[in-house]
Chains A and B, each alone.
Chain A
Amino acid sequence: MRKILRNLARLPLTEPAPRPDEAALAEIAKRVDAAARRRLGRSLSIREVDAGSCNGCELEIHALNNAFYDLERFGLRFVASPRHADVLMVTGPVTKNMREALERTYNATPDPKWVVAVGDCARNGGIFAESYAVVGGVDRVVPVDLHIGGCPPRPIDLLKGLLALLEARPAAAK
């Protein structure tokens, strides 16, 4: 058992593979780290809300937690309740059936708070925009501070977006 664990521990967990996007990741990771420290003292809690997505965005948001992206090393972490959150990360075209749930989640999040809309559908409803069952983009329901585009956005784009959020709101973060 111990041997297995030791062998497993030897896997190259966080070693960046020699590929160009790895280099970009390292660079962004450094910037996110510095900004997060400066503004938040190493802590920012994110509550993810799927307001109607196809679950593609969720898969890539999940990936932020894997050993390659390891979001928590920047002090950014996903929390289970909007009451604990600083940031709502919202995906999907907002469906009419999810509108109220999104509003309530937003209202349950204490100030100061920021909303990040993730994915092309979250911007304006995307491919689902004209449907009777869809409200549209996230900003039709709650104020949005930042859009991260993509279908779905790659984890590295999500990291870039979080960096942009951290750098773009000096007034709010005292």
Chain B
Amino acid sequence: MSALTDRIEGRRVEGHRPWPRVIVRENAWRTAAELLAAGQATLLSLWGDINKVHMALLDESSGEKIVVTLECPDRQFPSVAAHHLPAQRLERAIRDLYGLEPVGPGDDRPWLNLGFWGVMHPLGDRRQSPVACKPYAFLPVEGENLHQIPVGPVHAGIIEPGHFRFTANGETIVRLEERLGYVHKGIDSLMSGADLERGAKLAARVSGDSTVAYAIAFAQAVEAALQMQIPARAVYLRALMAELERMANHFGDIGAICNDASFAIMHAHCGILRERTLRAADACFGHRLMMDCVVPGGVARDLFPNAAEQVRALLQIVRASFPQIVELYENTASLQDRTATTGILKPDLARRFGAGGYVGRASGRAFDARRPGYAPYDELTFDIPVLDAGDVDARIWIRIREVEQSLSLVEQILQRLPAGDLRAAIPEMGAPCDGVALVEGFRGDVLAWIRIEDNHIGRCHLRDPSWFQWPLLEAVIEGNIVADFPLCNKSFNCSYSGHDL
């Protein structure tokens, strides 16, 4: 198969790194949408800009990535979602934020704009609009004996807000419709005009559980745009942080999923491992979540003295106790009864949506942005666990296997940790330049795209893996009982904040 750059005709943009960016006409934009629909490319993201739209595509067979740009001076563009459904919510967000209209059959309801902003198209022509919360038209449901269960935005637990509208027949869910956007903070608009330091802080607060992944993605995009080389020690310390973050989140998730099946002992034990991991992170970098520790150019601080010893102690504890916890999970039939064959995501759907992280890898999609990806993972040995079952159980097992891989990665990182500088100076830049990066967070691949102008951020787009996972949750819940929704939801553990921006 020929390369994406050959199949999508356009004018190559200088100063966009490391993937090519091409400015195309409408027919090539449609060609790109058709490639997505035909499964010959995967949608990495779709985002608005001043009078233009961009989309990032991946060819999974070759690993080739490309950004395609369409100028839309008349404020409309051919809908990608008309060909390829995974683009739909992204297009609705573009309409809300930029006022650019996707043309084609689609969903013309707002997505992030719930009617409270007092402004329309805040990143586009920014029109004042009265605060008017029109009733949202949920999709119509018809049939005998159906009832609806509205949940949220304020949920029962200590979790983020969002609304779920269940339609059930008795206990069986026939449809779930999500309504998100409640934690929309306008991060895209805050990014524009910010300096790089503030941009890094904002990126680190897109989704707190993935603060390291976002900080690395943002930093890599900046470094690509400015053609910077960063010190080897910083590269390794970033990976150390990323793997500690992955472990902490996976521990938390494994326990929390089991807790939603009322198996609290797993939750308690996994919670202990999570806490120990956060304490090790704190001992290393002075912050439990390692927020603001990764900065453009490198890392903000070195390991505290003796921190490596504490990490080794953590590895020892986890190696001793985690297998017992896994055994407990494996040998508890009543728990397995809840997780096995529950919430099945079909591999075809995972592939079409380009589902990242454990959601994709539990449904046969062997994609991990770390391979082939970025340093230092090319120098480290690790497996990418993949399963086909696609149920809650498989998503737990992927996390278990990934914890094991992260243990080994952390060990390798500590062994190889090079000495030297922590941070390269940010060069003064001349012409405007663009950078893009794809980084594997615990939840999946985080995309960061940035345009730097006059040493400030012109536009920065951050795409959470949840954009392509939330719609799949709607699909997997169908036919399951209401009581299994928390299990399914937790096994996805999508980010609200990362999605709502």
Contacts and interface: CB of A to CB of B under 8 A. Distances in A.
Output the residue of B183, B271, B327 with the most chain A CB within 10 A: B183
B205 A56 contact: yes
A127 B160 contact: no
A39 interface: no
Given A4-B328, A54-B211, A67-B271, 11 more contacts: A8-B325, A48-B158, A52-B183, A53-B208, A59-B289, A62-B158, A62-B252, A65-B271, A93-B185, A96-B117, A98-B183
Interface residues of A, number: 52
Interface of A: 1, 4-5, 7-8, 11, 13, 48-63, 65-68, 78, 80-82, 92-93, 95-101, 104-105, 127-128, 130-134, 151-152, 154
B149 interface: no
Interface string B122-149: 1000000000010000000000000000
Contacts of A56: 205, 208-209, 211, 289, 291
Interface in B71-125: 114, 116-119, 122
A6 to B, nearest CB: 11
Interface stretch (B272-280, B390-398, B432-440, B481-489): B272-280
Given A56-B289, A66-B272, A130-B190, A97 B114 contact: yes
Contacts of B496: 55
B497 A98 contact: no
B181 interface: yes
Contacts of B27: none
B160 A61 contact: no
Contacts of A80: 156-157
Nearest to B156: A80
Given A52-B183, A63-B275, A66-B272, A99 B208 contact: no
Contacts of A62: 158, 252
B271 to A, nearest CB: 4
A81 B151 CA distance: 13
Interface string B262-290: 00010011011011001000000000110
A98 B158 contact: no
Given A55-B209, A97-B114, A132 B186 contact: yes
A17 B330 CA distance: 30
Contacts of A8: 265, 269, 321, 324-325, 328
List the 6 shortest-distance A-B pairs measured between CB atoms, nearest first.
Answer: A56-B208, A131-B186, A133-B186, A80-B156, A66-B271, A96-B116
Given A50-B159, A97-B181, A101-B153, A4 B327 contact: yes
Interface string B155-171: 01111110000000000
B182 A132 contact: no
Interface of B: 114, 116-119, 122, 133, 153-154, 156-161, 181-187, 189-190, 198, 201-202, 205-209, 211, 252, 265, 268-269, 271-272, 274-275, 278, 288-289, 291, 321, 324-325, 327-328, 331, 495-497
A154 B281 CA distance: 13
A132 B324 contact: no
B160 to A, nearest CB: 5
Contact of B497 (A54, A99, A130): A54
A96 B185 CA distance: 8
Residue picked from B159, B206, B208, most chain A C-beta under 10 Å: B208
A151 B291 contact: yes
Contacts of B497: 53-55
A55 B118 CA distance: 25
B95 to A, nearest CB: 16
B426 to A, nearest CB: 20
Contacts of B289: 56, 59, 152
Nearest to A13: B272
A108 B154 CA distance: 12
B116 A99 contact: yes
Contacts of B321: 8, 11
B272 A78 contact: no
A22 B268 CA distance: 19
Nearest to B332: A1
A117 B184 CA distance: 19
Given A59-B289, A100-B116, A101-B154, A134 B185 contact: yes
Nearest to A58: B158
21 contacts: A4-B327, A11-B272, A48-B158, A54-B205, A54-B207, A54-B497, A55-B160, A55-B496, A58-B160, A67-B268, A67-B275, A78-B157, A78-B158, A80-B156, A92-B183, A101-B153, A131-B189, A132-B119, A133-B122, A133-B189, A134-B186
A92 B198 CA distance: 18
Contact of B324 (A7, A105, A128): A7
Contacts of B327: 4
Contacts of B328: 4-5, 8
Contacts of B288: 60, 154
A62 B160 CA distance: 12
B123 to A, nearest CB: 9
Among A48, A50, A81, chain B packs the most CB atoms within 10 A around the CB of: A50
A81 to B, nearest CB: 7
B157 to A, nearest CB: 7
A117 to B, nearest CB: 15
Contacts of B159: 50, 58
